[in-house]
Amino acid sequence: MLTTGPEQKLTTADLDALLEQQRAHRRVDHRTRVQVISLRADQADTRPDVRTGWTEDVSSTGAKLLICGPLAADTFWIRIPESNRRNEFIECRVKWRDESGLRLSNENCRCGVEFQRVLSREEFDEVLASGALDRETSDQPSSPEETAS
């Protein structure tokens, strides 16, 4: 355990160590390009909204993402185009958004997400066709570790 006194200062490394102890799942710094896919707010347009994003760090249950443009949806999917599992879609639920007041360049959005389930291309197409999320199954997290290959 780290302690501080009047003559001892807490360093950034100390803070990182404290935060890592608080996490249930270890995060790994990893930057890769992802597609961020969400349903449009107005259901009149059935085409999904697709944006580019990047992972900043990843754990077995979630990730920190940097997404091009504003993000309105609280639930969306990510797809990793360069992966050999590019036909799988990871449903994500936003846990936090960068609310620091500091504007990211180009109106980008930084957020932390929790993985909910992994969908095959067919399952994903069914969700898009229905125009809504299946709340019953989206509350049952699946193991995203299978997508980390």
Name the band, by pLDDT with cuts 50, 70 and 90, for residue 113: very high
The predicted-structure confidence for 5-18, as pLDDT tens digits, reads as follows: 455 555 666 656 65
d(CA 17, CA 120): 37
d(CA 48, CA 67): 16
Which tokens hold the place of 128?
Answer: 């898009």
The predicted-structure confidence for 36-71, as pLDDT tens digits, reads as follows: 999 876 655 567 889 999 999 999 899 999 998 878
Residue reference for tokens 């930084």 = 110
pLDDT score at 149: 38
% of the chain with per-residue pLDDT over 90: 35
pLDDT score at 53: 94
Average pLDDT, the chain: 75
Strand 49-58 relative to strand 33-38, pairing: antiparallel
CA angle 18, 145, 98 (to 5 degrees): 50
d(CA 119, CA 33): 19
Q: For the whole model, what pTM was predicted?
A: 0.67
